[in-house]
Chain A
């Protein structure tokens, strides 16, 4: 298995180089002078512009700029924003916030999604099943923007002003893990729906399998049949989905982070794309790609744990 892991990691290198160059070129292709964009409506002082362009190698051709960037990475220098904050500093504070948010969302979606899917599969065709399916439909159709604002207003503002219960902070990260409850729930919204349906389908299929019927027939307790045999064998598609979702949650949190004023990378990515801050965009994307690759690798390795028939060469 060790060789398999090493091979997978080596495969990541060309993927990384390719994605970083692609992103670099895309940001490079954005129109408008980034230094002018810094100044908003005012004309940029030409000396300021010249100094900044020089400092960030903006006058060089694409490939040379990319060369500077890669060279910097090998010397441990991830570059700087146009406003003079080193990219490493941004990683330090902001990745933690986004990671917390994504993990919170992942936990919520795993508990709620699998839980609801389980109930739906066991109560197949009954009222609870229909209600859960209808609920997932609702989750998918309400955009994050709406759910975010509504939850913030109802649980953050109105709950506090009407009852004095100050449990859900409106915004910010000052309340520790509680700060991530609402945004995590909002971010997990659509994934909960998908996961519920995935669990339901997968579990229903397993429940029809011969070995489950055999287990029930020989009088094994229902709880053990479900937990040990049915659920475990239905987990493979769920784990695949959760693994891929971690990356998606981290990179797709712009709106949630904005609504709940979380100082994370989603927001930073948006601003940096806007300002054409190549080194920041590429830096963040690189780390996201790494997380994607790592998550997928872990998922692949988990397959073997879940299903001992799977072997890696």
Chain B
């Protein structure tokens, strides 16, 4: 999963939590400034947090970096309004057995330096990302390709004293260049959803110029990446020092030429500040708004406020194997789920910026069924209490609710705690820890016994991404200890279906098992709240919460 941009602004949120309370309602409706003189030549400005790494596709797995790279690069596929992949650089992506994929490229795509976007440029880029020695953030995206294990040998004793064995390969054996415009990808397991993965940042190609004489991606490339997209860097960006990333239109790019001449990505540490800049007309687009301004933004900005479902889901998780008694029993987990008033929490605590969750699969991908969770996610205090009492709930001890105190989770966790106290009559102990890492560490060491908060945003728009990486027994992000044979079988069946569509029924059957067992309780779906100034128009946000930057126009 990509890291929420929130992770970066956590600190700001913590510091400013007070301010928010102090200034609530202080935002009077101001008439947003009109462009000002010389707007035609001025670049369109977009708010981002500081990208966490140098601007290299393989080392970018968070939203701000992805937003920037999205303007510089295009991928094999793009996504249509239904989040289905449509070929972009790819001429075709085909497979007989869902394991060996043949990718043919369209001719004529060029990098900003004039070299051709060919099969080798993809293979080089993916190999580099997959190499454990490079410690790239998006390394795990390559995990399904044959040869990944040889490049990233597992440590035999986890974090223990033994060192991991040395890698036995430096390139993915599953990648083969057939001719300049064709390459094949061998996966370790059949996966019909493979094409849906290919539009993400990690799978962008890199030109020869990216690599230095030693075969490493050069520092200069990380400051001024040469892409193949609608914009190119106007000047190198010095990370840690400069707060603006400037780009100009790539006029060589003919397919869907960008409508504006230049873009500046401006780095903000606080969303409230960025919003004030938007109000003052100094900033054009924000793809994320601070929760406190949502209510006033709707009224103030009208059409220039965008609200749409996003791919994120917020959960409460249970250590189902090693946890407290209430965490081990599916019936008690259901009782807890039914005692949570999702509607009130999303409306009151999140001011309507989240919606109650009713499935493990997000509404942004195919396979989501409204109300799939049914009774278990419906607020019913009476039934919840019955279920709790008849399954030994009162004897299972105090319910612990773990959360990281740095991320603005206190309010909703407290609300859940009150629900559980009132509706189940249980003793509830909210348990703040300083950082989320502490909870993950404890879960890894089987030391965490109670509930814990959890969130997930998708890597690629496939229902598989909401099931396998979180709940498959061997998955790296499986914190609940969930292990169900039937679930694994169904996933396997779905992954080997000839198309994603045909696999959906099996994914949903797997989803049904989760909904019955509830290793996590889905609590809310995130929403994208974006806004733009009167200087621009045609602003759209894609399923990865990236701005469709090439289509933005000056108003």
Contacts and interface: CB of A to CB of B under 8 A. Distances in A.
A binds B: yes
B269 A267 contact: yes
B2 A42 contact: yes
B164 interface: yes
Interface in B262-304: 266-270, 272-274, 276-277, 279-282
Contacts of A47: 132, 135, 139, 152-155, 164
Contact of A36 (B27, B267, B437): B437
Interface stretch (A198-206, A226-234, A238-246, A252-260): A252-260
A89 B132 contact: no
B476 interface: yes
Interface string A163-206: 00010011111100000000000000000000000000000000
A143 B18 CA distance: 10
Interface stretch (A49-57, A69-77, A111-119): A49-57
A161 B240 contact: no
B58 to A, nearest CB: 12
Interface in B4-18: 4, 6-7, 10-12, 15-16, 18
A217 interface: no
Interface in B123-162: 132-133, 135-137, 139-140, 152-155, 158-159
Contact of A261 (B18, B132, B274): B274
Interface stretch (A3-11, A148-156, A289-297, A300-308): A148-156
B366 interface: no
Contact of B436 (A40, A84, A169, A174): A40
Given A41-B3, A43-B476, A258 B273 contact: yes
A172 B266 contact: yes
B31 interface: yes
Interface string B33-44: 100100000000
Contacts of A149: 19, 22-23, 26, 272
What does DSSP make chain B's interface, helix, strand, loop or mixed?
loop
Contact of B52 (A42, A83, A89, A267): A83
B552 interface: no
Interface residues of A, number: 64
Contacts of A153: 26-27, 276
Given A172-B266, A258-B12, A36 B30 contact: no
B15 A258 contact: yes
Interface residues of B, number: 78
Interface string A16-51: 000000000000001111101111111101111111
Given A50-B164, A255-B15, A171 B276 contact: yes
Given A36-B437, A50-B164, A93-B240, A161 B279 contact: yes
Interface of B: 1-4, 6-7, 10-12, 15-16, 18-19, 22-23, 26-28, 30-33, 36, 52-54, 62, 132-133, 135-137, 139-140, 152-155, 158-159, 163-164, 238-244, 266-270, 272-274, 276-277, 279-282, 406, 433-438, 440-441, 454-456, 476-477, 479
20 contacts: A32-B433, A34-B437, A37-B435, A38-B52, A39-B3, A41-B4, A42-B477, A45-B152, A47-B135, A47-B139, A47-B152, A83-B52, A145-B22, A153-B27, A157-B276, A157-B280, A158-B30, A170-B282, A171-B277, A263-B267
Given A94-B241, A172-B266, 20 more contacts: A31-B433, A32-B437, A34-B437, A36-B437, A41-B436, A84-B53, A89-B241, A93-B240, A149-B23, A156-B280, A161-B33, A171-B268, A171-B277, A173-B243, A255-B15, A261-B267, A263-B241, A267-B269, A270-B11, A270-B15
